[in-house]
């Protein structure tokens, strides 16, 4: 009887085995797909199915990383510097405005429409106008800030407004000040929303930096990867342009992974969105 019972029982999966295999698949499947795409791309170029001068092979793009690194390296550092500085300004400005709006409806009604106007104004349209009155470096930072600050503002404001009203009533019962409610309760409640906005703003900051470089290129933009992508095809240096594009993509991936890691560190011990559960 015991033998029959033991045979009918399902095999027990070791703890963590399912999670580890899922994590492995999460990394292996995209890498395998990328390898297939690169192999097909390389074959099409070698077989003459694509114009090699305009669409270089992946091996040629890889070679361009080393051959043109004296150009790509400084350009990447310039774009990264603009991205990080604009991103930090967007985070500071977005959080400050969100706190201000949450504490005063009058201020929100006055300024929020202008925040929306700044969000929907195309950077390509406003950058040449700003370049007439401001320096190139200032225009680049303003463009990155314009693109990236609204997700931080909107998400943080939603988080501040999503605070549990029962907890707010408890704080009021104990006569907590507005700053105590903000610092102890509202900001903690808004943290997951803020981090979601920050992850969006990180990628938008890189996009804003590249777009700003393209928009200010006629005014003598120097060094950025966006300007390299704009200029390289004019000299038929297509591998360099593709290498700059790949470098931008890798930079965006790294930014997203870093911000996701920071979000996990801040949330994994207490927030539902980061807790590991089996169901």
Decide if pLDDT at 247 tops 90: yes
Dist. CA 149–CA 197, nearest whole Å:
9
CB-count burial class (<10 Å; 0-12, 13-18, 19+) for 219:
middle
Among 22-31, 37-46, 132-141, 211-220, the range scoring the smallest mean pLDDT is 211-220
| CB 30 within 8 Å of CB 20 | no
Decide if pLDDT at 1 tops 50: no
What pLDDT band is residue 278 in, cutting at 50, 70 and 90? low
List, in order of start, the domains of the chain with CATH numbers.
67-267 (1.10.3720.10)
Residues in the chain: 279
- pLDDT number for residue 113: 92
Decide if pLDDT at 171 tops 80: no
What pLDDT band is residue 269 in, cutting at 50, 70 and 90? confident
Decide if pLDDT at 6 tops 70: no
Per the structure block, which two tokens stand in for 149?
């600050």
- pLDDT number for residue 52: 63
Average pLDDT value for residue range 223-244: 86
Share of the chain above pLDDT 90, in %: 38
Decide if pLDDT at 68 tops 80: yes
**Higher pLDDT, residue 2 or 69:** 69
Residue pLDDT, tens place only, 113-162: 999 998 888 888 888 888 888 888 888 999 999 999 999 999 999 998 88
What pLDDT band is residue 85 in, cutting at 50, 70 and 90? very high
* pTM value > 0.85: no
Buried b (16+ CB within 10 A) or exposed e, 65-78: beebeebbeebbeb
Q: What is the mean pLDDT of the chain?
A: 83
| CB 244 within 8 Å of CB 225 | yes
Q: What angle do CA 82, 205, 233 make, to 5 degrees?
A: 75
What pLDDT band is residue 98 in, cutting at 50, 70 and 90? very high
Helices assigned H by DSSP within the chain: 2-8, 17-46, 58-67, 69-103, 105-120, 123-133, 136-161, 165-173, 178-180, 187-215, 225-231, 238-267
SS3 assignment for 26-52: HHHHHHHHHHHHHHHHHHHHHCCCCCC
- pLDDT number for residue 156: 93
Contacts of 138 (CB under 8 A, 6+ apart): 130
- Cα 239 to Cα 43, 55, 213, distances in angstroms: 17, 8, 20
Dist. CA 29–CA 19, nearest whole Å:
15
């Amino acid at each position: 009887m015991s033998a029959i019972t033991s045979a009918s029982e399902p095999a027990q999966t070791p703890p963590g085995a399912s999670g580890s295999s899922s994590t492995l698949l999460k990394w292996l499947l995209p890498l395998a797909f990328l390898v297939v795409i690169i192999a097909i791309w390389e074959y099409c170029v070698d077989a003459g199915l694509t114009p090699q001068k305009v669409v270089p092979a992946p091996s040629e793009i890889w070679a361009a990383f080393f051959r043109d690194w004296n150009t790509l390296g400084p350009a990447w550092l310039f774009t990264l510097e603009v991205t990080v500085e604009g991103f930090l300004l967007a985070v500071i400005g977005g959080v400050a405005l969100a706190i201000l709006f949450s504490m005063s409806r009058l201020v929100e009604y006055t300024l929020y429409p202008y925040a929306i106007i700044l969000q929907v104004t195309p950077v390509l349209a406003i950058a040449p106008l700003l370049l007439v009155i401001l320096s190139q470096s200032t225009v680049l930072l303003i463009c990155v800030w314009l693109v990236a600050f609204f997700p931080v503002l909107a998400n943080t404001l939603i988080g501040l407004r999503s605070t549990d009203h029962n907890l707010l009533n408890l704080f009021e019962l104990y006569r907590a000040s507005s700053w105590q409610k903000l610092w102890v309760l509202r900001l903690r409640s808004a943290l997951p929303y803020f981090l979601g906005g920050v992850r969006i703003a990180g990628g938008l900051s890189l996009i804003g930096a590249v777009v700003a470089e393209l928009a200010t290129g006629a005014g003598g933009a120097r060094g950025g990867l966006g300007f390299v992508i704009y200029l390289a095809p004019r000299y038929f240096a297509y591998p360099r342009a593709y290498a700059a594009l790949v470098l931008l993509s890798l930079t965006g991936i790294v930014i997203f992974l870093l911000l996701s890691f920071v979000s996990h560190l801040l949330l994994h011990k207490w927030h539902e969105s980061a807790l590991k559960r089996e169901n």
